[in-house]
Amino acid sequence: TQLLEQSPQFLSIQEGENLTVYCNSSSVFSSLQWYRQEPGEGPVLLVTVVTGGEVKKLKRLTFQFGDARKDSSLHITAAQPGDTGLYLCAGARTGGFKTIFGAGTRLFVKA
Amino acid sequence: ETGVTQSPTHLIKTRGQQVTLRCSSQSGHNTVSWYQQALGQGPQFIFQYYREEENGRGNFPPRFSGLQFPNYSSELNVNALELDDSALYLCASSLDRSYSPLHFGNGTRLTVT
């Protein structure tokens, strides 16, 4: 059982569409991070959220941390083919020493 | 600023053999974490090293071992390779052992036949 559940697992959309991916847990996290991974490369950090209810924007990407710090969402506006990749959420639990990852959402944006 | 580099990029081994993977941390980072990423999955935590000492371990058997050197570079050793060990092995460095962001290398793709 994954401590961090991501949904959907796979998403194929047309360029210009909007989408939201979710990261859920029954555990509280001191912070959540979102990474993007492209084939043949390691994950690259997009954002870290640390405060319950926090919203961060990175150009067309909007990240939200749930009020209870158990879940997060990533919303992409007007998706582009360059957004294609594996989106991973990752969290550090309070008092823990490791960052754990969800299984990822594989996004494919068609031109 | 030099990023995280891993070697080799690809490796093919036979079941039962041993393998050593290497990682150079990003400049200024004293913590290294190793992850195993199976095809289609998220990275699974193997262990973390902080200032040359193991700082925590995931659910991996003892045949997975590691080292961190005074310059904060690191090795992952796997003994008695099994077919299920085939995966992408990722090294990530961070500023310290708290919740600082992970900076990943591009991984070593290990295939066990």
Chain B residue numbers with beta carbons less than 8 Å from the beta carbon of A48 are 101
Chain B residue numbers with beta carbons less than 8 Å from the beta carbon of A100 are 45
Residue bearing tokens 């081994």? B13
**Partner-chain residue, chosen from A30, A45, A103, that has the shortest CB–CB distance to B41:** A103
Chain B residue numbers with beta carbons less than 8 Å from the beta carbon of A33 are 101-102
pLDDT in tens, A59-108: 999 999 999 999 999 999 999 999 999 999 999 877 667 899 999 999 99
Q: Write out the H or E segment, with its range, that includes residue B31.
A: strand B31-37
* Strand runs labelled E in A1-104: 5-7, 10-14, 19-24, 29-37, 44-49, 55-58, 61-65, 71-76, 85-93, 99-101
pLDDT in tens, A48-62: 999 999 999 999 999
In this prediction, residue B75 carries a pLDDT of 98
Chain A residue numbers with beta carbons less than 8 Å from the beta carbon of B35 are 101
Give residue B96's pLDDT band: very low, low, confident or very high (50, 70, 90): confident
By percentage, how much of chain B surpasses pLDDT 70? Answer: 97
In this prediction, residue B40 carries a pLDDT of 87
pLDDT tops 70 at residue A2: no
Q: Which amino acid, A10?
A: F
pLDDT tops 60 at residue A1: no
pLDDT tops 90 at residue B100: no
What distance in Å separates the CA atoms of residue A37 and residue A89, rounded to the nearest whole number?
A: 11
**Partner-chain residue, chosen from B43, B48, B99, that has the shortest CB–CB distance to A101:** B43
Nearest CA to A5 out of A96, A104, A107, A95 is that of A104
Structure tokens at B29: 């980072």
A–B: how many Cβ contacts below 8 A?
Answer: 57
Helices (H), A13-100: none
Give residue B97's pLDDT band: very low, low, confident or very high (50, 70, 90): confident
Using only C-alpha atoms, what is the Rg of chain B? 13
* Residues A9, A15, A16, A22, Cα dihedral to 10°: 10
What distance in Å separates the CA atoms of residue A40 and residue A61, rounded to the nearest whole number?
A: 23
Q: Give residue A21's Cα distance to chain centre.
A: 7
Tell whether B8 is within 8 A of chain A (Cβ). no
